[in-house]
Amino acid sequence: MSVTTYQLKRVDLIFKNENDWKQILSKTLKRKKEDIINSLISSELKGRGGAGFPTGMKWKLTSEAKEETKYVICNADEGEPGTFKDREILTQVPHKVLTAMAICAYVTGASEGYIYLRGEYKFLQKSLYNAIGEFERYCEEIGFHFRIAIFMGSGAYICGEETALMESMEGRRGEPRNKPPFPTDSGYLGKPTVVNNVETLVHTYTIFKYGAKKFRDLGVQYSRGTKLFSISGDTPIPGIYELELGMTLSDFVEEFGDGDTKAVQVGGASGFLVPRKRFAETQIGFQGKLTGVSLPTGGSMMLFNSSRSMFNVLNNYLDFFEEESCGQCTPCRVGCQQLLKGIHAVKRGDKPAVYLNKLLKLSENMQYTAKCGLGQSVGNSFASIVENFREEMIF
């Protein structure tokens, strides 16, 4: 790889397959549970699904929960528009995911694991079952009792939200629960449950293999390690890339843009749109940066060039949310409809341009009042697009 002048580093940890999972598994299962948790905590790994909860803390809380039965769930309901990394992980390195699930089970005291697989990924089911069969046989061999089953989703975006996911697994309608209680206390079937994103689990594998320090040395403060990015849109080189966290959008666009990048949507439909003028000050990573803006992401990066209408982009997102809201809470169910209908009314001239202000206020209130992450994050793309491209909304 050629040396670059900007701060963007490609890394190859996730897909590098040295087929050493048996060794990593048996080695790690010999370690003390506290030791494993401490090493995860010191790695500063944060959840890669988008919310960024410290993974070590999640495992610790579940391990401390006083219940006989516990569960480990791998969230493979990859549904965020513009995200397609988990599919690749499950295709290329499923054993790493299974190993991480088993170690999580060891640490927390669970004996059953589930992979909640996105309905559209049904084609992966067979190969995954093969991998699981092989994996379970090895577990038997080394005397570690852990079973993994695949639960097929049915195509609802909201079921990627961990509590809706568990409702769906329990045979009910996929609607998010009230929190607290959190899944670490009361999750699947009311038992303490770790729900980790596919990619998060693979990062723990990296940490078990190379140690926490190697992971923490990557990335920047508050945003350690690497991240898989699903890069799409107006780019000559779309695809999945593993990059160190902490790069600025300027660096990113220089590498992946087509020379005419107008804006980048970071984090999919529920993320933020960053216009060109903010590329330099925007860092990709978790919140906590001292200056400028730091944007977390489940990995979706969509690039838009000057040929794109931001009205159409926003319309597309809102259309998605209006349909994919579970519909239970008022701000999300009705709010999404209002935002969608509202921008069309402004565009048609049925509502005055200042109506956008009312909609912005609404999107802000949705953020405060919606029951789950879906409704709370609709305002991210709405506000960032409307505020930065107001003219395109009106004319």
Partner 1 sequence: MNEKVNITINGVPLRVDENKTILDAAEELNIKIPTLCYHKDLCVAGNCRVCVVEQVGTNKLPAACATPVHDGMEIMTNSLKVRNARKHIIELLLAEHNAECTKCYKNGNCELQELAAEYKIINQEFMNLVADHGCTIDDFSPSIMKDDSRCIRCQRCVRTCAELQGVNALTVAYKGSEMKISTFFEKPISDVVCTNCGQCVNHCPTGALIEKNYIEEVWEAISDPEKHVVVQTAPAVRVGLGEELGFEVGERVTGKMVAALKRLGFDAVLDTDFTADLTILEEGTELLHRLKEALVDKNPDVKLPMATSCSPGWIKYIEHMYPEYLPNLSSCKSPQQMFGALVKTYYAKERKIKPENIISVSIMPCTAKKFEANRPEMHDSGYRDVDYVLTTRELAIMIKQAGIEFMKLPDEHYDRLMGESTGAGVIFGATGGVMEAALRTAYEIVTGREVPFENLNITAVRGEDGLREAKIKIENPVKEWAFLDGVELKCAVAHGLINAREVMELVKSGKSDYHFIEVMACPGGCLGGGGQPIPTDPEIRKRRMEAIYAEDMGMPIRKSHENPEVKQIYQSFLGQPYSEKSHELLHTKYLPRERY
Which parts of this chain interact with partner 1 (CB under 8 A)?
A: 156, 158, 173, 175, 178, 180, 321-331, 333-338, 341-342, 345, 355, 358, 361-362, 365, 367-371, 376
Give me the least distance between CB of 87 and partner 1, in Å please.
23
Which token pair is 97? 């995911």
Nearer of residues 52 and 335 to partner 1, judged by Cβ: 335
- Strand 193-197 to strand 71-76: parallel, antiparallel, or no bridges (unpaired)? parallel
Give me the least distance between CB of 67 and partner 1, in Å please.
18
Give me the least distance between CB of 272 and partner 1, in Å please.
16
The Cβ of residue 17 has, within 10 Å, a number of other Cβ atoms equal to 11
Which token pair is 388? 């930065």
Nearer of residues 9 and 341 to partner 1, judged by Cβ: 341
Give me the least distance between CB of 355 and partner 1, in Å please.
7
Nearer of residues 88 and 175 to partner 1, judged by Cβ: 175
> What residue type is assigned to position 177 of the chain?
R
Give me the least distance between CB of 386 and partner 1, in Å please.
16
Give me the least distance between CB of 207 and partner 1, in Å please.
31
Pick the closest to residue 150 from 174, 176, 110, 122 (CA basis). 122
Helices (H), the chain: 21-29, 33-43, 55-64, 85-92, 94-108, 125-141, 162-169, 198-210, 212-216, 249-256, 310-324, 330-348, 355-369, 373-388, 390-394
The answer to whether residues 153 and 116 touch, using CB atoms and an 8 Å cutoff, is: yes
For residue 133, with 0-12 CB atoms within 10 Å meaning exposed, 13-18 middle and 19 or more buried, which class applies?
exposed
The Cβ of residue 167 has, within 10 Å, a number of other Cβ atoms equal to 20
Nearer of residues 141 and 323 to partner 1, judged by Cβ: 323
Q: Measured between alpha carbons, how far is 133 from 118 in angstroms, rounded to an integer?
A: 20
Which token pair is 255? 């590498």
Give me the least distance between CB of 119 and partner 1, in Å please.
14
Nearer of residues 178 and 307 to partner 1, judged by Cβ: 178
Nearer of residues 160 and 275 to partner 1, judged by Cβ: 160
Nearer of residues 218 and 329 to partner 1, judged by Cβ: 329
